[in-house]
Structure 1
Amino acid sequence: MRPAATVAAQTPSPAQLQASQAEARRLSDAFVNVAERVSPSVVQIDVTSRDENADQVLRWLGRGGGDSPVARGMGSGVVFTPDGAILTNNHVVDEALTINVHLRDGRFLPARLVGRDPETDLAVVKVDAQGLVAAKFADSDTMRVGEWVVAIGSPFGLGYTVTTGVLSAKGRGGIGMNLIEDYLQTDASINPGNSGGPLCDLEGRVVGINTMIVGRGSGIGFAVPSNMARRAAEQILKSGRVERAWIGVGAQDLTPELAAMIKVDPRAGALINGVQDNSPAKRAQIKPGDVIAAVAARPVHDSHDLTREILAHDVGQTLELEVLREGKRYGTKVTLAARPGRPVPPVPVQQQGVPQPGLGLTVRDLTAQQAAQAGLPAKPLPLITGISPGSAADRAGLKTGDVIIEVDGTSEPTSTQVQQAAADGQLLLRVQRRESAFYAALRK
């Protein structure tokens, strides 16, 4: 049996319990403050894309093809400027036919794609709005591994979901998902739909843009660092594209074996394994076998460091490089050029031109038999047979195959009554979709 004094020493005193509870409340309040501060800047993004299998949903009504079927997806985004620029992931809007944005104040607005950067999986869309709450961005380089972080987004369409965790690692690369990888890693819960939403510090500043996970529920998520995301967004807003600095070398990390052979420390820098002709590095007399140890007086320890430091500067800048060659250290200057790359192809939403006119839905009457087979009153109710991408009907969430059971207060209307009611440019519909009904408001 342990002495009574030992047991007493391990039992928290009332003062210790009170101090512990106060500390827990302070941490809880910090999370609450982040959610309240950042949520007005977070949006849900809904997109439609082509889906050749979508017409199967209409077979229960006996309808064939003829319209262009679409699939729906969603993601998150963060308001970047008060006049409606929103930063998100490229994979959220890639192949999009239409893009619509849910704002925190309840508005549901169509968005246009300003530009995208597949190399980092970033994109900027814009809505017609003023006075939005733009998020503040932190310097991601100053973040420390182990710091608390908060993720906000719309996982599985559940808007404004807040999860917490820590910054698990920095400078993650080699995952093979994007051409340029320099991720922040976190164990804050990130799921499908979080993509494009912010990862924040306890000051409510964006430190990263949530991008992907490794295995659902694994506790391993990745975000594009805020410094990289902010630079890309600013360039897209300015010119519609991203121009990225480049010196024209191939680089790899030094292994202990390689370091021993060339008589340097394994963390001495990035080993150059190739130099492209007519590149800035070639003009700066850099050769395969050199080790770049510093860029603009900032130490470089591996190939990721080298890439990160080059990308942190603008095309046209001249930088001092510190190079190790054959046991000697020397300096050279390199003028950054624009990284060669293929033009970014447009997505369907960029090819559509002007918005669709009218309310954007077509209808035809079901036969009484078809309506009865669908569990509806045996009357010629209007079936929605087409939705124009980007139209008022599309923004209201209507789908091909929905059945209109009420229009402007009139129950069990015909398609002719729907057409007449739409003459003033607006409709209030009650719609049946499978076993459930809902209201939808349409306005030009």
Structure 2
Amino acid sequence: MTWLVAVVLASTSSVNPLVQLSGSIEALVKQVSPTVVQVVVAAYTTVDQGNRAQADLVMGRQRSIGSGVVIDAGGYIVTNGHVVDGARAIQVVIPGEKAGRGRTVDAKIVGIAREIDLALLKVDVTGLPALPLAAPGSVRQGELVFAFGSPEGLRDSVTMGVVSATDRQPDPDAPMVYIQTDTPINHGNSGGPLVNVKGELVGINTFILSNSGGSEGLGFAIPSSLVALAYPKLRQFGHLHRGEMGMVLQTLTPKLAAGLALARDAGVIVADVVAGGAAERAGIQIGDVLVSVDGQPIDNVLPLAMRLFTSNGDERVSIGVVRGERAFTTDVAVVARTNDLDRLTDLLDPETSAVPELGILGIAITEEIAPLLPALRAPVGVIVAAHAPQGGAADVVLLTGDVIHSVNGVRVATLAALRALMAAVRAHNPIVLQIERNGQLQFLTFDAS
């Protein structure tokens, strides 16, 4: 009868605890909602043609909707990388003062970290309320959390649940962990914030496991610690800077250990070693089992992967190794992963490299620069080395690393030619850029501003 006594006491109290709880949630929603945006993406993607053969690939222009969260008052918004994948144009709906109202503004991609499925967008709006990040390691299993976003396109929605697990690793060989939650998350929530009762960002809602296609209480969010790591790098470089050791790792499972007749069934096994790399120089071999990092035991790839994610190189890590019956420790150098785009930024000049009509800083591909881009299909054009957002720039999604080969069918070989071709198109007339992105040629269409 204890529960009955509690109910009676609650009912006779001057303050109804349910009313208090409801009021606290309302206050939290009012605090967080202005930081949450709807992301509307126009993209070309595969479309279902029902009566056509399954092997018949059909491309069509589609409009998709996701969510995002303002992380900096200067107009920087974090969302999922997959939300803006293949984007030709991006718009963001910023909440208005009255519920259900908002204003739509154009957004540009500043950077994408596909390794962790995060993207950073920029809008030309300042003074936006930004959501603070929860302190690393502060998330606790069982604590209340709230998912904000646009499920199924329903903007300004919020749901409530708990943290089911703080470090869920769906794939033991992948270096990604997620916050698992039973908070209802559906299509359209991707990129939106998972928030604690303090109004802090604890994660970016990313995917669900579901047999029905809708929420079944298995939602997963990228931890805010990764957001804090990725944001400054995406803003500065357009991609993640990370270290590497020259080896490929897999989590050691009991079945893998049994098949290889290993004495232990926990740790990380070395699947490959890069010839001449740091790991080989430190004496690490294929088949070695790694059991500690800087004296701390490890039983999966995550601790080492996180160490590399947070490193810019030029440091050493102490690795505990088991090889057969021998156990030893070796220091492995962490070196910065080379990225030729970073080398190109040294050649940029804000005055001479700018293409104002596109909001970019570009570099013409010359005989000296072409060797930095060995995978380029056509060694001529202008490469997008950085973004330089400014008023009057056309509404077109160009990514760092894109190569512009032509404007309205006219080949581009120099920055001067690109600027001249862009300036020659009258306002509101169509422009077609042929670009090369990730080894594939494609057309981008938009109107001159």
TM-score, structure 1 normalization:
0.66
- Residues 17 and 360 of structure 1: CA distance in aligned 2, closer, same or farther (over 3 Å): farther
User: In the TM superposition, what whole-angstrom CA distance separates every residue of 1:45-67 from its partner, at most 9, and x where no partner exists?
Assistant: 1121237989xxxxxxxxxxxxx
Question: Could you tell me whether the CA contact under 8 Å between 1:243 and 1:315 is conserved in 2?
Answer: no
Does the 8 Å contact 2:175/2:301 carry over to 1? no
CA 1:357–1:76 in structure 2 vs 1: closer, same or farther (change >3 Å)?
Answer: farther
| Cα distance in 2, alignment partners of residues 303 and 39 from structure 1 | 36
Superposition deviation, residue 333 in structure 1: 2.0
Change (3 A) 1:71 1:336: same
User: 1:384-411, CA deviations, whole angstroms, 9 ceiling, x for partnerless residues?
Assistant: xxxx8578xxxxxxxxxxxxxxxxxxxx
From 333, 347, 371, the counterpart of 2:331: 333
Relative distance call for 1:390 and 1:30 in structure 2 (3 A) is farther
Deviation of residue 37 (structure 1)?
2.3
Please tell me whether residue 153 in structure 1 is matched to residue 149 in structure 2.
yes
Structure 1 position 203 matched with structure 2 position 198 = yes
Q: Deviation of residue 348 (structure 1)?
A: 6.6
Name the SS for the 1:107 alignment partner. Answer: strand
Task: Report deviation, 1:170.
Answer: 3.6
Determine if contact 2:144/2:160 at 8 Å carries over to the other structure.
yes
Is 1:86–1:124's contact at 8 Å kept on the other side of the alignment?
yes
The residue number in structure 1 matching 2:253 is: 255
Q: Provide the rounded CA distance (Å) in 1 between the counterparts of 2:321 and 2:19.
A: 51
Residue 44 of structure 1: which of 38, 44, 49 is its match? Answer: 38
Q: Counterpart of 1:299?
A: 297
Q: 1:19-418 counterparts in 2 under 5 A?
A: 22-50=16-44, 70-105=61-96, 106-174=102-170, 181-215=176-210, 216-256=214-254, 261-264=261-264, 266-267=265-266, 269-327=267-325, 329-339=327-337, 349-350=397-398, 389=446
Q: Percent identity?
A: 34
Name which of structure 1's ranges 303-312 and 22-31 shifts more when overlaid on structure 2.
22-31
Which residue identity does 2:397 align to in structure 1? V
Counterpart CA distance in 1 for 2:302 and 2:244 is 14
The corresponding residue for 1:15 is: 9
CA distance in 2, matches of 1:30, 1:119: 37
Deviation, 1:192, is 1.2
Task: Map Cα deviations across residues 73-113 of structure 1 (whole Å, 9 max, x no partner).
Answer: 11111112111011111111111121111112333211111
Residues 363-419 of structure 1: CA distance to partner in whole angstroms, max 9, x if unpaired?
A: xxxxxxxxxxxxxxxxxxxxxxxxx8578xxxxxxxxxxxxxxxxxxxxxxxxxxxx
Structure 1 counterpart of 2:37, one-letter code: V
Amino acid at match of 1:85: Y
Q: What letter matches 2:274 in structure 1?
A: Q
**Partner letter of residue 142 of structure 2?**
G
For 2:233, what is the secondary structure of its paired residue?
Answer: helix
Q: Give the 3-state SS of the residue equivalent to 2:287 in structure 1.
A: coil
Q: For residues 286 and 225 of structure 1, what CA distance do their matches in structure 2 show?
A: 31
CA RMSD of aligned residues (A): 3.8
Bigger proportion of residues as helix: 1
Letter in 2 for 1:349: V
Distance 1:44 1:181 in 2: 25
Q: Which residue type is aligned with residue 150 of structure 2? A: S
Runs of 5+ unmatched residues, structure 1: 1-7, 55-67, 362-387, 392-443
Sort the Cα spacing of 1:156 and 1:328 in 2 relative to 1 into closer, same or farther, 3 A: same
Seen in structure 2, the aligned counterparts of structure 1 residues 164 and 272 have a Cα distance that, compared at 3 Å, is same
Residues 155 and 283 (structure 1), Cα distance of their counterparts in 2 relative to 1, 3 Å cut: same
1:295–1:322: 8 Å Cα contact kept in structure 2? yes
Query: What is the distance in 1 between the residues matched to 2:3 and 2:200?
Result: 40
- CA shift, 1:43, in A, is 0.8
Give 1:26 shift.
4.8
- Structure of higher CA gyration radius: 1
Unaligned 5+ runs, structure 2: 49-58, 97-101, 342-374, 376-382, 385-394, 399-403, 408-418, 431-444
Secondary structure at the aligned position of 1:130 is classed as: coil
Aligned partners of 1:10, 1:123: CA distance in 2, in Å? 48
In the TM superposition, residue 206 of structure 1 has moved relative to its aligned partner by 0.9
With 126-135 and 317-326 compared, the bigger mean Cα shift is at: 317-326
Would the alpha carbon gap of residues 37 and 333 (structure 1) be closer, same or farther in structure 2, given more than 3 Å must change? farther
* Compared CA separation, residues 172 and 20, structure 1 to 2 (3 A): farther
Report the Cα distance in structure 2 between the residues aligned to 1:151 and 1:82, rounded to whole angstroms: 21
**Helix, strand or coil for the counterpart of 1:71?**
strand
Counterpart Cα distance in 2 of 1:99 and 1:206 = 23
Cα deviations across residues 229-287 of structure 1 (Å, max 9, x unaligned)? 222221110111212222232333333466685444x44x3222332222222222222
Query: Does structure 1 conserve the Cα–Cα contact (< 8 Å) formed by 2:45 and 2:86?
Result: no
Distance 1:342 1:212, change over 3 A: farther
Q: Secondary structure at 2:137's aligned position in 1? A: helix
SS class of match (1:159): coil
| Cα distance, 1:170–1:10 mapped onto 2, change above 3 Å | closer
Which residue of structure 1 aligns with residue 349 of structure 2?
none
